[in-house]
Amino acid sequence: MKKTFYITTPIYYPSAKFHIGSAYTTCLCDSVTRYKKLQGYDTRFLTGTDEHGQKIEEAAKANGKTPQEHVDYISGLAQDLWKQLSIENDDFIRTTQKRHEVVVEDIFERLLANDDIYLGEYVGNYCVSCESYFTPTQLVDGDKCPDCGRPTKLLKEETYFLRLSKYADRLLAFIDSHPDFIFPETRKNEVVSFIKSGLQDLSVSRTAFSWGIKVKSNPKHVVYVWIDALSNYITALGYDSKDDSLYQKFWINGDEVIHVVGKDILRFHAIYWPIMLMALDIPIKFRLYAHGWYLMKDGKMAKSKGNVIYPEQLVERYGLDAFRYYIVREIQYGNDGLFTPEDYIKRINTDLVNDYGNLVSRTISMVNKYFGGTVQKTVHNHSLLSFEQNLEEVATESIKQYQTLMDEFKIADALKALSTLVGRTNKLIDDTSPWDLAKNEETHAPLQSVMYHLLESIRLITVLYQPFLMETCPKVFGYLNVEENNTDFESLKFGVKENYEVVSKAAHLFPRLEEESESEVIRSWMNEPKKEEPKIDPILPEITIDDFAKIDIRSGKVLEAIQHPNADKLLVMKVDTGDKVRNIVSGIAKYYKPEDMVGKTVLVIANLKPVKLRGELSEGMILAAENAAGELFIVEGSSKLNPGSKIS
Ligand code: ME8
């Protein structure tokens, strides 16, 4: 019987049109699934949309739609996009589907009945965007969310809690006894230290909004969006339904289950999800692969920054295969990668146009020119044998490496190993100068052997490119008349195909791109004028001059600044405010380097109650404001002001 392989992407929030970030995860999963199919696995690939929660409710409102209309629209766009990208998912789950909702209702009730969920009260600062509560020590700059930097709201609500603390030891033991549970290793260490720092019970219901799955026994509560979302991995398999055959096959009796997630949502998958499964008495069958992000030169992609890039435009102009290749090739496994228009064009020109595309067209034209398109495998001895043997060795080694790396999910490295073989094959042409061999009748046999080696190597390369270049590989097999049984992984050996009869003329696989002008085209998409009007925060209710007098704003001079040791977003500064030198922590690290700050005259709220931010005392707040593009600027005072000058 075939081994099974079940792979999932996160289910994406349909808050806005998907950019290349979501496409990255989905293409990664699709390519791995295609690879596993070639290896003979029985595969199942799930993706979908996470359609509940306050964020969606608010996005719908902003677009003048009901939440259902909004998610129907965006989820439809997502499904169209995956079709355009040739994603071969077996199922697409939407959390607003009945098949999912009824099971989540039931899961919640069972956890409640087992006392793994209990009713309590939560008081804390809530970030709508991240749908999470934060403790005062986690907040930055007073009330800002430590994850996204947006202001939080102080909320007090009755809520259900999931007993995370009860399962902490069992989870640590599980991670310890399953060394492959989380990849890469560094992410696993983060998770372990997070658990060891102490798990608080998790608030798993909300009453402040209604767009969600209602708690059956207490419908004024809706189920927390992450409990709802994480369940998709089993509800989509028919868990707890009339027909649970897929659940039995791919989860309970399955051989491999992989959840692929971005590093941003690792904690939910590595802690909450396994604990839910333990509490439900379901085996933890999955392994987690956490990948890095596609970043832009100015940080994360954001519509408001005008730096978003969408897959559709790239596919329409440069082709499907170029996009699918680039997107999984550019990011080293686990790391972040930078998207730049120049790199996009260069990557296509180098790997696909120059190396692979040229190899195929040069070889086909030589085989036609020297042998009328037909070449046999020949066994003989000649002076060029060592070059051919070396190519065979490189091929064997590259195939092995490619498979090992693909199995470890190191897709970019696997493609790099394949590039080595492409390079070595091109080098055989340089080493042997076929045009010289062709001049002489005696070197006719060696020439045929060289041509055969080129063709056989192209066949192997093309077999291995199949999970990535879905339009090109069938074309190349067609040009070379490769029979179907010589396109699978069983045929991955040099010398398997005996004869070649190639087409008389082959169109170029990838047209060469003009680097400067094409980079400019992509840049113009990224800087599309923003259609939305900049939003102005509403003016707060009136205050009196006495209210204002309570806020003591002073000018201060920044004497020193360093990066906060435990928080990427924070700088820790020493600021002279006349009365003393204060320690001030500020969430500006994304916009200002420590050295940018030293010497600046800033405005400080000097009588704000000191707080500790990620362990560092902050004795005041520096004034700053965001522009319409979401960039943050500190409000600078005149350098002529002495430290301590009162602002009034
Ligand atoms: O978190 N680079 O949904 P989401 C790489 N609904 N990957 C990126 C990316 C980028 N710039 N931006 C997004 C959610 N991603 C939840 C998931 S699962 C039970 C619930 C990818 O729409 C990456 O995989 O915010 C990330 O984890 C995912 O999109 C988050 O998508």
Q: Give yes or no for residue 298 having a pLDDT over 90.
A: no
Over residues 65-98, the pLDDT tens digits come to: 999 999 999 999 999 999 999 999 999 999 999 9
Q: Give yes or no for residue 520 having a pLDDT over 50.
A: yes
Domain 545-647 is found in CATH 2.40.50.140? yes
Question: Residue 333 — pLDDT band, cuts 50, 70, 90?
Answer: confident
Q: Is the CB of 262 under 6 A from ligand 1?
A: yes
Q: Is the CB of 618 under 6 A from ligand 1?
A: no
Residue whose CB lies within 8 A of the most ligand 1 atoms, among 9, 12, 75, for a mutation test: 12
Domain 320-501 is found in CATH 1.10.730.10? yes
Over residues 578-617, the pLDDT tens digits come to: 999 999 999 999 889 898 899 999 999 999 999 888 888 9
296 contacts 339 by C-beta, under 8 angstroms: yes
Query: By alpha-carbon position, which residue is closest to atom 10 of ligand 1?
Result: 21
Q: Give yes or no for residue 538 having a pLDDT over 70.
A: no
Q: Closest ligand 1 atom to the C-alpha of 13? A: 22
Q: Give yes or no for residue 256 having a pLDDT over 50.
A: yes
* CATH tag for 4-291 (out of 2.40.30.10, 3.40.50.300, 3.40.50.620, 3.40.50.720): 3.40.50.620
Model pTM score: 0.80
Measured distance CA(464)–CA(454) in Å, rounded: 16
Measured distance CA(117)–CA(224) in Å, rounded: 12
Q: What are phi and psi of 96, to 5 degrees?
A: -90, 0
Query: By alpha-carbon position, which residue is closest to atom 28 of ligand 1?
Result: 262
Q: Which residues contact 294 (CB under 8 A, 6 or more apart)?
A: 20, 21, 24, 301, 330, 331, 336, 337, 338, 339
Query: By alpha-carbon position, which residue is closest to atom 26 of ligand 1?
Result: 262
Over residues 273-296, the pLDDT tens digits come to: 999 999 999 999 999 999 999 999
Most confident of 124-128, 526-530, 619-623: 619-623
Measured distance CA(244)–CA(329) in Å, rounded: 37
pLDDT of residue 303: 65
Q: Give yes or no for residue 571 having a pLDDT over 80.
A: yes
Question: Residue 628 — pLDDT band, cuts 50, 70, 90?
Answer: low
pLDDT of residue 349: 98
Taking residues 186-212, what's their average pLDDT?
A: 92
Measured distance CA(9)–CA(93) in Å, rounded: 11
Comparing 134 with 528, the larger pLDDT belongs to 134
Question: Residue 304 — pLDDT band, cuts 50, 70, 90?
Answer: low
> 462, 344, 328: which is closest to 32 by C-alpha?
328
> 444, 447, 403: which is closest to 421 by C-alpha?
403
Q: How confident is the prediction for the chain on average, in pLDDT?
A: 93
Structure tokens at 411: 């897709």
Domains of the chain, residue spans: 4-291, 320-501, 545-647
Q: Give yes or no for residue 203 having a pLDDT over 70.
A: yes
